[in-house]
Amino acid sequence: MPDSTPGEATERVALTLPGERRSIGIVRLFVGGLAARLGLGYETMDDLQLALESVLLKAELRPEITLEATIDGDTVFLTIGPLVRDPLQPETAGPNELDLGHLLSALVARAESTTLDDGSWLRLDVRVPAGSGAS
């Protein structure tokens, strides 16, 4: 997890929900509330919602998943998992399909996956613009 600078508070909020496609609406609300709290613009919020929605639609989900947001200075780290396998592994996409890694690279500052004992975890890093509510 991210390290914080001395004197700088790190805030963390987590949500555990069923690993079902119908949880997308709850994830969208989670991101909307986070964006409102941080003063993120509509475009940034929309990118985050699309990124997480894409993960939920493309990844093979466990029966229960956790979405965690960590606010550390000017960066928000969104972590989702555990997933059955690494969602960033190249897959055989059709000629008109974009693989998840390429899509995420257009939506967030960084996407990184880690495999732990309970499955794969995906971390999405997003920069918070100066003057937002995160400071």
Q: Which CATH class is domain 11-127?
A: alpha beta
Domain ranges within the chain, ordered by starting residue: 11-127
Spatial separation of the C-alpha atoms in residues 132 and 36, rounded to whole Å:
10
What confidence score (pLDDT) does residue 74 get? 87
Q: Token match 């993960």: residue?
A: 55
CB of 70 closer than 8 Å to CB of 120: no
What confidence score (pLDDT) does residue 126 get? 92
Token pair recorded at residue 95: 């000629």
Chain segment 60-111, per-residue pLDDT in tens: 899 999 999 999 888 999 999 999 999 888 765 566 667 888 899 999 999 9
Using the predicted structure, report yes or no on whether residue 4 has a pLDDT greater than 60.
Answer: no
Percent of the chain with pLDDT over 90: 56
Q: What is the pTM of this model?
A: 0.83
3-class DSSP state of 38: helix
Weakest-pLDDT range from 5-9, 94-98, 100-104, 123-127: 5-9
Please give the angle made by the CA atoms of 91, 95 and 97, to the nearest 5 degrees.
60
CB of 87 closer than 8 Å to CB of 53: no
